[in-house]
Chain A
């Protein structure tokens, strides 16, 4: 083993109580920081991510009815901020008079909101199609419907005092979970929505002909629009406003989520930076102090011919060993503590760990520890090199 390593380790072993105190001081700084980081990663980040990932927070609602042509939708689809967009009819037509399930038992739900959907709908785990619909969980529960089931949608209109109804047999393709959409709703394709609008608006369309293919309208009254990410909401709104299209986010506080996440990151960084600075200063001062306590030994080693680089390596190795031990001991205490925290509060994070450290965070901590060890040793190394060999001649 190279002599500087032998000297560094022998000194630590010989003066093990001081070394242990040193390591304990490091653990005192490192362990709370790791637990804080684990809580931030586990509790705060997970919960904020869930909110950030909730598509409802990324939805922009059109204010009022408009006339949006195909060029408008091509423009929207080409924008990088757009996650999903589909043309929609006027909201007055987005209501079915009733939805009926006949099997295994008959049930009827009246005045069912209709939501136009298409491939890529962030609320759905699949897609709708002509005659294939998705039900929100509350509606499915009211109807007693399940995927693969069949239902009938009833659309009514009044022409010249005469009430007419059109019926459409629909297959249930899937159920939208309640956490994605908590109100009764029927998700259906744009062609089906357009058929409903034609039936309600055009007296020439009859209950027998309303499902026949027809040319799409020149313009759509509205749209369903989702930004790709929460951060895209602002720029997308601005772009639409610039085009004269008034929109508002469904979740008014969505932007606050981003601020919360950024704020939490900054807060932790500030705390971590302060702790790291204190840790560095304590490490640096302690190593310097160790050199001071061993001045005569270093002076003697110089007189005996130990090369400058070898002498300077001694505090460097001690720094690495002490910080390595501090990090190792911290993890040995922190990891079981995290397991205990997660076991004690299983419901807080709803399935995810309340406190967790990612491998990249552990790696980052190790790299940071090494960098701290190397840089904090510089003062001590410089001090070692300045100790003259004649010192040991004069002081015993």
Chain B
């Protein structure tokens, strides 16, 4: 089992560096990342309209969505995903899904520790306590997902993604299921934990203007129509 040390930010390259990565969703719609670069520790926000393919962009970045062609460049936390057959592992990348999916037959504690266990990483107990405690999950670790509220499951998904201190954290609508009173607090908590972990963040969300991510750099989005094909194109140059 490998020990998990905080990443050496100064020595690392970009948390994500992508060019020409795209996928067709049906015959007439394509989601494309023209260029996307996230610096270590940077927070980058995707706030395009609903249905424009934000979740697909995160899936493409994570390597979870198969591209239609080999990209010109697809590097995440030092891993070349254009060549890799498997995801880069939880120390490289954490992913909070919009679906806040958890493994239904594992307890919350086991779910949170699952990526580290798969990658055979040893998580520092202090950091694990910090993540779980900050997200208000300490008393829920023995519960199964079906015994949790939607908001609790979403926070568990955040904890699962952050536990291994990923160099890139992908967040897909991470507070969409929270009650409005808690949204801002959790957003700020995510930013703090990401900062503490040294993680760069690529976040897809709505209503960014009023959120804790309002000041963060945005991914530019445009729609191109060429005949029957509609392309939803995302671009974010290095800041």
> Which chain A residues have a beta carbon within 8 Å of chain B's beta carbons?
3, 7, 10-11, 13-15, 294, 296-297, 299-301, 303-307, 388-390, 392-396
- Whether A15 pairs with B105 at a CB distance below 8 angstroms is yes
Q: Write the chain B residue with the least CB distance to A393.
A: B59
Binary A-proximity of B68-103 (CB < 8 A = 1, otherwise 0): 000000000000000000110110000101111111
Chain B residues within an 8 Å CB radius of A300: 97, 101-103
Q: Write the chain B residue with the least CB distance to A293.
A: B104
Q: Does B124 belong to the interface (CB within 8 Å)?
A: no
Chain A residues within an 8 Å CB radius of B229: none
Bound CA span A25–B220, Å: 57
7 contacts between A and B (CB under 8 A): A303-B87, A305-B90, A393-B58, A395-B99, A396-B97, A396-B98, A396-B99
Chain B residues within an 8 Å CB radius of A299: 101
- Whether A10 pairs with B105 at a CB distance below 8 angstroms is yes
Kindly identify which residue among B64, B117, B144 contacts A393, using a CB–CB cutoff of 8 Å.
B64
- Whether A306 pairs with B105 at a CB distance below 8 angstroms is no
- Whether B118 pairs with A393 at a CB distance below 8 angstroms is no
Kindly identify which residue among B100, B110, B144 contacts A396, using a CB–CB cutoff of 8 Å.
B100
Bound CA span A386–B172, Å: 24
- Whether A303 pairs with B62 at a CB distance below 8 angstroms is yes
- Whether A303 pairs with B66 at a CB distance below 8 angstroms is no
Q: Write the chain B residue with the least CB distance to A296.
A: B101
- Whether B105 pairs with A304 at a CB distance below 8 angstroms is no
Count B-side interface residues using an 8 Å CB cutoff. 31
- Whether B66 pairs with A390 at a CB distance below 8 angstroms is yes
Q: Write the chain B residue with the least CB distance to A300.
A: B101
- Whether B103 pairs with A393 at a CB distance below 8 angstroms is no
Chain A residues within an 8 Å CB radius of B214: none
Give the Cβ gap from B33 to chain A, nearest Cβ, in Å: 15
- Whether B58 pairs with A14 at a CB distance below 8 angstroms is no
Q: Does B15 belong to the interface (CB within 8 Å)?
A: no
Give residues 53-70 of B contacting A (CB, 8 Å): 55-56, 58-59, 62, 64-66
Bound CA span A10–B117, Å: 15
Kindly identify which residue among A3, A10, A388, A396 contacts B101, using a CB–CB cutoff of 8 Å.
A396
Give the Cβ gap from A302 to chain B, nearest Cβ, in Å: 8
A14 with B64, Cβ < 8 A, contacts A305-B87, A393-B58 known: no
Chain B's interface: helix, strand, loop or mixed, by majority?
A: loop
Give the Cβ gap from A235 to chain B, nearest Cβ, in Å: 64
Kindly identify which residue among B58, B86, B99, B104 contacts A392, using a CB–CB cutoff of 8 Å.
B99
Bound CA span A392–B99, Å: 7
- Whether B105 pairs with A14 at a CB distance below 8 angstroms is yes
A10 with B115, Cβ < 8 A, contacts A388-B66, A396-B99, A396-B101 known: no
- Whether A393 pairs with B55 at a CB distance below 8 angstroms is yes
Chain B residues within an 8 Å CB radius of A304: 87, 90, 114-115, 118
Kindly identify which residue among B55, B102, B117 contacts A394, using a CB–CB cutoff of 8 Å.
B55
Q: Write the chain A residue with the least CB distance to B117.
A: A3
Q: Does B141 belong to the interface (CB within 8 Å)?
A: no
- Whether A14 pairs with B104 at a CB distance below 8 angstroms is yes
- Which of B66, B87, B103, B172 has most chain A Cβ within 10 Å? B103
Chain B residues within an 8 Å CB radius of A392: 64, 97, 99, 101
Q: Write the chain A residue with the least CB distance to B93.
A: A305
- Whether B105 pairs with A11 at a CB distance below 8 angstroms is yes
Chain B residues within an 8 Å CB radius of A301: 103, 118
Chain B residues within an 8 Å CB radius of A394: 55, 99
Q: Write the chain B residue with the least CB distance to A395.
A: B99
- Whether A393 pairs with B99 at a CB distance below 8 angstroms is yes
Bound CA span A7–B56, Å: 28
Give the Cβ gap from A13 to chain B, nearest Cβ, in Å: 8
Q: Does B119 belong to the interface (CB within 8 Å)?
A: yes
A393 with B114, Cβ < 8 A, contacts A10-B105, A10-B106, A300-B103 known: no
